[in-house]
C-alpha cells in the first residue's frame, strides 16, 4: 500500500505468522507483530499518512457536507463501505493463486479503513481522538465482543453505562504502559481473527466470484463495526 514507509514485508503479516496467531501463540515474533499492527493502526488509521487521509480530515469534511452530525456519520460509513468493498474485490480477483500474498495486505487495508471510520465517528460525536484512552477505545471497537475479555485481562474496570463501556476508558487515566499492554492485546486478537479466517475464505479461490465474496464480507464486517462504534461513542455533551 505504500503508506507505512517501512521495509517491505514488515507491515504485512506473512502466512506463517497468521497461522501462528490462529494457533493462539503470542510468543516470539507474534508479540512484536501484534504491537506493530496496533501502533500502525493508531498512527496511520487515525492520524493518516500520505494519500490516506486522517480521521480528523474525514470527520471535518463529512460535517461540512452534512446538515447534521448523524448525516455526517451516515456519509462516513457509506464512504468507508465503498472503499472496503473495492479493496476486498480487488484482493480477491486473482483467486487462490494470489490469495496467500494478497490477503495479508487486504487485512491491513480493512483494519486501517475500520480504524479511521470509527475514529471519524468518535470525532463527530465530540470525542478527542488524540486522547490516548480514546484511541485505545477506538481499537477496542474493532474487536467487538472480545473487548470485555481484553479489558478484564488488562485489569481495566469499566461501568458499561450510558456513555459506553469503551469510552469509559477516558476516566480511567491509565498509565502509558497499561495502554500499551491493552493495545498489544487488541493487535494480537486482530491477528488471531485473521489467521482463523485466512483459509476459511474459500470463496476467494474462484477468480472474479471470489472477488465478490471478499467485497461482500468486508462490507458486512465494516457495517458491524460501524454499528458498534455508534453504540460505544454516543453524542458527548459539550
- 32 is a domain residue: yes
- 150 is a domain residue: yes
Q: In 3-state terms, the chain is what percent helix, strand and coil (to 5)?
A: 70, 0, 30
Confidence of residue 20 (pLDDT cuts 50, 70, 90): very low
In whole angstroms, give the CA distance from residue 33 to residue 217: 25
Which is nearest to 112 in space by CA: 59, 160, 54, 168?
54
Which is nearest to 58 in space by CA: 47, 68, 67?
47
- 94 is a domain residue: yes
pTM of the model: 0.77
Confidence of residue 16 (pLDDT cuts 50, 70, 90): very low
Which is nearest to 201 in space by CA: 189, 185, 217?
217
What pLDDT score does 150 carry? Answer: 83
In whole angstroms, give the CA distance from residue 41 to residue 135: 10
pLDDT tens digits, 168-194:
676 667 777 888 888 988 988 888 876
- 9 is a domain residue: no
- 2 is a domain residue: no
- 127 is a domain residue: yes
In whole angstroms, give the CA distance from residue 62 to residue 165: 26
What pLDDT score does 212 carry? Answer: 55
Counted domains in the chain: 1
pLDDT greater than 60 at residue 22: no
Tell me if 88 sits within 8 A of 214, measured CB to CB. Answer: yes
**pLDDT-above-70 percentage for the chain:** 63
Collapsing DSSP states into helix, strand and coil, what is residue 52? strand
pLDDT tens digits, 90-118:
555 555 444 444 446 777 888 899 999 99
Which domain covers residue 38, as residue numbers?
15-232
pLDDT tens digits, 120-158:
999 999 999 999 999 999 999 999 878 888 887 777 766
What pLDDT score does 191 carry? Answer: 82
- 109 is a domain residue: yes
Tell me if 17 sits within 8 A of 191, measured CB to CB. Answer: yes
pLDDT greater than 80 at residue 159: no
What pLDDT score does 209 carry? Answer: 45
Amino acid at each position: 500500500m505504500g503508506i507505512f514507509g517501512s521495509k517491505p514485508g514488515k507491515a504485512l503479516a506473512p502466512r506463517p505468522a497468521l497461522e501462528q496467531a490462529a494457533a493462539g501463540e503470542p510468543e516470539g515474533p507474534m508479540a512484536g507483530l501484534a504491537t506493530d499492527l496496533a501502533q500502525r493502526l493508531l498512527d496511520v488509521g487515525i492520524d493518516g499518512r500520505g494519500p490516506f487521509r486522517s480521521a480528523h480530515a474525514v470527520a471535518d469534511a463529512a460535517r461540512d457536507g452534512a446538515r447534521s452530525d448523524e448525516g455526517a456519520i451516515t456519509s462516513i460509513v457509506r464512504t468507508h463501505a465503498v472503499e472496503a468493498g473495492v479493496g476486498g474485490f480487488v484482493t480477491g480477483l486473482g483467486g487462490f493463486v494470489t490469495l496467500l500474498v494478497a490477503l495479508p495486505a487486504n487485512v491491513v487495508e480493512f483494519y486501517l479503513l475500520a480504524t479511521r471510520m470509527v475514529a471519524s465517528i468518535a470525532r463527530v460525536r465530540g470525542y478527542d481522538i488524540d486522547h490516548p484512552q480514546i484511541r485505545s477505545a477506538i481499537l477496542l471497537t474493532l474487536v467487538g465482543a472480545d473487548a470485555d475479555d481484553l479489558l478484564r485481562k488488562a485489569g481495566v474496570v469499566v461501568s458499561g453505562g450510558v456513555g459506553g463501556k469503551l469510552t469509559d476508558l477516558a476516566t480511567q487515566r491509565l498509565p502509558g504502559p497499561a495502554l500499551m499492554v491493552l493495545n498489544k492485546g487488541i493487535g494480537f486478537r486482530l491477528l488471531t481473527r485473521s489467521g482463523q479466517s485466512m483459509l476459511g475464505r474459500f470463496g476467494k479461490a474462484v477468480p472474479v466470484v471470489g472477488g465478490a465474496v471478499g467485497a461482500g464480507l468486508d462490507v458486512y464486517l465494516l457495517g458491524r463495526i460501524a454499528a458498534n462504534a455508534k453504540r460505544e461513542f454516543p453524542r458527548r455533551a459539550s
